[in-house]
Amino acid sequence: MLPAVGAPDDSTIADAFGRRTRGVDAEAGDEVEFLELPAALVEHSGFVTALAERVARFATVRHTSYAHIRRLDRPAADRLILVSDSTPGWRLSELLFVASHAQLPLDITVVIGILRQLLPAAALYGRHNRDSAIGALSPERLIVTPQARLVITEHAFGPALEKLNLGRDRLWRELRVAMPPSAGLPRANARADANALGVVALSLLLGRVLLEEEYPSQLQSLLEATTERHDGQVAPLSPALAAWLARALQFDVRTAFQSPHEAQVAFEAVLASDRGYVTQPAALEQWVSKVGGLIDAERNPPPPPPEPEPEAEAEAEPQAEEEPASAHEDDRDLRRDQPQAESSWAPPPQPHFEPPPPSPAPLPPPPVEVEAPVVAREVEPVEPEASASARTEPGELRRDPADLSAEVSATAEAASGREGGPEEPEAPYAPEAPSSKAGVRSPLVMALLAVAMFQSIVVIWLWNSNPGAPRAGEGELVVQSRPVAARVSIDGEDRGVTPLTLKLPAGAHVLEVGIGKSEPRVIPLTIQTGVQTAQYIELQNVPMTGGLDIRSDPPGARVSIDGQVRGTTPVTIRDLPPGDHDVVLEANGRKVRQPVRIDAGTTAQLVVPMPRR
């Protein structure tokens, strides 16, 4: 009999899979998480063998959506410890537990934000591991980082769970592993992972983990009573989302999802059918920060403020009461002195300021207003009709400067009160100039129009003949970041650095953008056929420069980077901006040139054998 699952404790580091502690890896020296399995699992040889095989396979696999599994240690015959990378954050089960007790319900945008990370990650596992499944998906084995990024942990237990030969009820009751209904013993396959995704989604909508007695007998009634919350307003679950959840929970075998990929595609269709279902990363980050802050405050309460020392207060009070008379006498002396000071005080002589001379009336505005006709004159050649009018009716052009001069004169006289006539318009306003210039510029305009039409034809031809244009069933993704040269991966595959433009098959994808070893940004997105999708990512708290460790054989070569001397080998340069750089090493009259690409947050190594005399 395996140990039953208890209520989460303050640290929430223990469940039926064992007790988790964080420490330093003796082999690598960095922080890791130790999961010590219970004795009932350690004693099962089939379970241990299957788990060891999966751990050895995943030891060389890394992905930001999964906690890296390092190895399986056996310090004693009756002990087994799973060593994984330490992931900062909180288990989803403890976030739901604290949020439920603190009455912090999940908005539907928070639920969607978590599911849009979980579904692609589970589907990605299925594409690369067709012979097995995660098998242990649950809120207890999902971590949400402070940046609201979801990480799947302990994903190597699928084949080992099958070796236990436990029924559906016992797996849930003793290990909190949800399995779909089956004719015989349940199997940890893709259908089981799809069912587990439904359980996680139902827990998010309920705002709590499922109780032991609720699975699987009460799933139907729970789904019927489930609601969704939009900006504080509670509404019934939409028919589309309710139907998706019923398929994930395997109520009807004929319509049940057979894999996480199928569940992901159907979920994206639900989001597309309802405009109210949007992904708001800010809302998810705010909820995670608030609930995670409550957990951290409970785990690490602030130290109590130091109590005031009573001796200091006791000494301060007698000093204030020892000389009350002198204090009152000082007050009386001060009051006696104040009237004398007031009576003897005389205001200082006020300085006499001569009133400023009246400001002269504003002069008539300089003839800058004549620029308006200049603008009109320059614009006229753009329209051939205006040029023709200028040639046939020059009288109108003669009247325009005069009317403008009259308006300027009237304005100047009203402002200054003096008589004065406007200056004569300059020569460009003569009627002959517009007609002659229009006649000269008309061929130029026609030539420009011809050039523009030719360029348009060339652009259209190049666009239609561009071999890099998206093909049928493809869309385009443009990724930009600040800072630039961030590493980009799509569905776990490295695709280059920003800025980056690439073609992708239409459908759901997972975009990851990061620099060095810093926390990457994970963005689920959907590519549409023939549509360009743009993503601009601001990476916070990431290094802006990279480094280059340069060595030569023999040492002592002079190093120049981008034309600047930076020292002699061996040397490490730590302030290089990301991107391509030109490195030149010189020694004994010989020169070696080497292009190097620098990534922010990392230090590249360059070893150059120098030619000898």
In a domain? residue 205: yes
In a domain? residue 569: yes
* Better-predicted residue by pLDDT, 561 or 301: 561
Do 456 and 603 fall within a single domain? no
pLDDT for 359 equals 47
Which region, left, alpha or beta, applies to residue 45 given φ > 0 means left and ψ of -120 to 50 means alpha?
A: alpha
pLDDT for 473 equals 83
In a domain? residue 561: yes
pLDDT for 543 equals 75
pLDDT for 40 equals 92
Instruction: Give me the mean pLDDT over the 173-192 stretch.
Output: 93
Distance CA 105, CA 599 (A): 41
Residue (of 36, 147, 39) closest to 83 by Cα position: 36
Q: From 277, 296, 315, give the residue that closes a domain.
A: 296
Q: From 538, 566, 582, give the residue that closes a domain.
A: 538
For 267-297, the pLDDT digits (tens) are: 989 988 887 888 788 899 999 999 999 999 8
Do 172 and 292 fall within a single domain? yes
In a domain? residue 59: no
Whichever domain contains 563, its CATH number is 2.60.40.10
Do 480 and 600 fall within a single domain? no
Confidence of residue 50 (pLDDT cuts 50, 70, 90): very high
Q: How many domains does the chain have?
A: 4
DSSP 296: H
In a domain? residue 333: no
pTM of the full predicted structure?
0.57
Do 218 and 164 fall within a single domain? yes
Phi, then psi, of 609 in degrees rounded to 5 = -80, 120
In a domain? residue 317: no
Do 462 and 588 fall within a single domain? no
Do 214 and 147 fall within a single domain? yes
Question: What type of residue sits at position 25?
Answer: D
Instruction: Give me the mean pLDDT over the 342-349 stretch.
Output: 44
Contact in structure between 248 and 254 (CB atoms under 8 Å): no
Do 248 and 104 fall within a single domain? yes
Do 600 and 505 fall within a single domain? no
Q: From 538, 561, 583, give the residue that closes a domain.
A: 538
Q: At what angle do helices 92-101 and 190-206 cross, to 10 degrees?
A: 20
For 532-556, the pLDDT digits (tens) are: 888 888 887 777 788 899 999 889 9
In a domain? residue 490: yes
Nearest-5° Cα angle at 239, 235 to 242: 90
Contacts of 341-348 with C-beta under 8 Å, sequence gap 24+, read none
Residue (of 153, 127, 151, 69) closest to 491 by Cα position: 127
The pLDDT of residue 372 is above 60: no
Do 560 and 459 fall within a single domain? no
* Strand-pair partners of 71: 83
Do 583 and 452 fall within a single domain? no
Confidence of residue 485 (pLDDT cuts 50, 70, 90): confident
Do 161 and 261 fall within a single domain? yes
Do 105 and 207 fall within a single domain? yes
In a domain? residue 585: yes
Among the ranges given (42-46, 94-98, 227-231, 480-484), the one the predictor scored with the smallest mean pLDDT: 480-484
Give the domain extent around 578. 546-609
